[in-house]
Amino acid sequence: MLAEPIISALENVWPAPFEGFHLYLKRDDLLHPEVQGNKWRKLGPLLARAHEVRHGVLSFGGPYSNHLHALAAAGRIFGFPTAAVVRGTRMSPDNPTLTFAAHNGMKLFPVPKADYDLLKKTDARSVADYLQNEWLSAYEWLPEGGDSPEAVRSCANIPAEIISQFNPAVPGHRYICVPAGTGCTAAGIIAGAAGWGSVLVFPAAPYGVDRDSTDARIRNAGFDKQAPYEIVYPSIPLKFAETTPEITDFIRKFKAEQGVGLDWIYNGKMMFRIMELVKSGYFPAGSHIVAVHTGGLQGINAGRGDS
């Protein structure tokens, strides 16, 4: 069983180029050293009943998946077996993400991308039949990225924490910013921030996150209210694992000046885009901008950082 919930810190960020604004980091990257950031949030419902997981947990992810990295660590720490269908058959022995997962006891099954895309929409029995491993049919099913209604409800606690850490008497527009892979964490934040402020969602790629899927996640999690939100795409279209010299340089300077590491798949792109929005006059003067640091730092070592 999990102990009392850990509330991550809310920290101020250096002013320039944010003079006239209040920028904060919600440090979910510090929630746990291995089950990091939004993965701790999304796996929370599973970990709360880890003692009931009799056979194991089966999930899905790419070869550099933050989710698989965190799930493997959680299985070791909380004492349940884990298995994963991995997208693609080219598994390099130098891949630190999958090496870590295997060392933590996760059974890995690489499959071609076309088969992966089909299998992740089926069930444990279908996966067991495809892989010819009968024991997998008894494993609990955890969607790619940990994306589930339970995870959305868990992530809805993030705004509640922010609100409790905020001075309600401080004037100014209030925004919560969150990067997005599947959109699960963003959906929870949008639901949990109803009546408090606006939410800006920063997709890691120009596909996979949209209003229809976000609204559906909120409804499926049982919420009937939500904050106003906007999906903010990069100023320069980038694929999932792409970056630019400007973003890379920004991340380096941010670490040097703030002492906070950012991955270049999710949080680095989000913080760079927030900087652009501030400079362009998007935010009203005096706004309070809370950026949720969702972790993903294992991706820095892996050279990637899939959801």
pLDDT of residue 3: 54
pLDDT of residue 54: 86
Q: Which of 86, 121, 146 is the last residue of a domain?
A: 146
Alpha carbons within 13 A on the beta-carbon side of 289: 27
Do 153 and 293 sit in the same domain of this protein?
yes
pLDDT of residue 305: 43
CA atoms of 180 and 194, how far apart (whole Å): 19
Instruction: Decide: residue 174, CB within 10 A, 0-12 exposed, 13-18 middle, 19+ buried.
Output: buried
Which of 167, 166, 175, 298 minimizes the C-alpha distance to 232?
175
Question: How many domains does the chain fold into?
Answer: 2
Express as a percent the part of the chain with pLDDT over 70. Answer: 94
Residue 186 DSSP code: H
Q: What is the token pair recorded at 85?
A: 């269908």
Q: Name the pTM for this structure.
A: 0.93
Alpha carbons within 13 A on the beta-carbon side of 80: 22
Do 278 and 200 sit in the same domain of this protein?
yes
Express as a percent the part of the chain with pLDDT over 90. Answer: 79
Do 140 and 180 sit in the same domain of this protein?
no
Local confidence band at 14 (pLDDT 50, 70, 90 cut-offs): confident
The answer, yes or no, to whether residue 306 has pLDDT greater than 60, is no
> For residue 307, what are the contacts with CB-CB under 8 A and spacing of at least 6?
61, 62, 65, 66, 67, 144, 145, 181, 182, 204
Which of 22, 76, 78, 81 minimizes the C-alpha distance to 56?
81
The residue that leads in pLDDT, 208 or 269, is: 269
Do 142 and 190 sit in the same domain of this protein?
no
CB 201 within 8 A of CB 178: yes
Do 228 and 83 sit in the same domain of this protein?
no
Local confidence band at 21 (pLDDT 50, 70, 90 cut-offs): confident
Do 25 and 111 sit in the same domain of this protein?
no
Q: Could you report the per-residue pLDDT of 118-169, keeping only the tens digit for each? A: 999 999 999 999 999 999 999 999 999 999 999 999 999 999 999 999 887 7
pLDDT of residue 17: 59
CA atoms of 154 and 121, how far apart (whole Å): 23
The residue that leads in pLDDT, 229 or 92, is: 229
Nearest 5°: the CA angle 49, 185, 29 is 80
Q: Which of 94, 129, 146 is the last residue of a domain?
A: 146
List the CATH number of the domain containing 117: 3.40.50.1100
Local confidence band at 302 (pLDDT 50, 70, 90 cut-offs): low
φ, ψ at 211 (rounded to 5°):
-65, -40
Do 173 and 135 sit in the same domain of this protein?
no
- Which residue range forms the structural domain that includes residue 141? 39-146
Do 118 and 163 sit in the same domain of this protein?
no
The answer, yes or no, to whether residue 1 has pLDDT greater than 80, is no
Do 176 and 75 sit in the same domain of this protein?
no
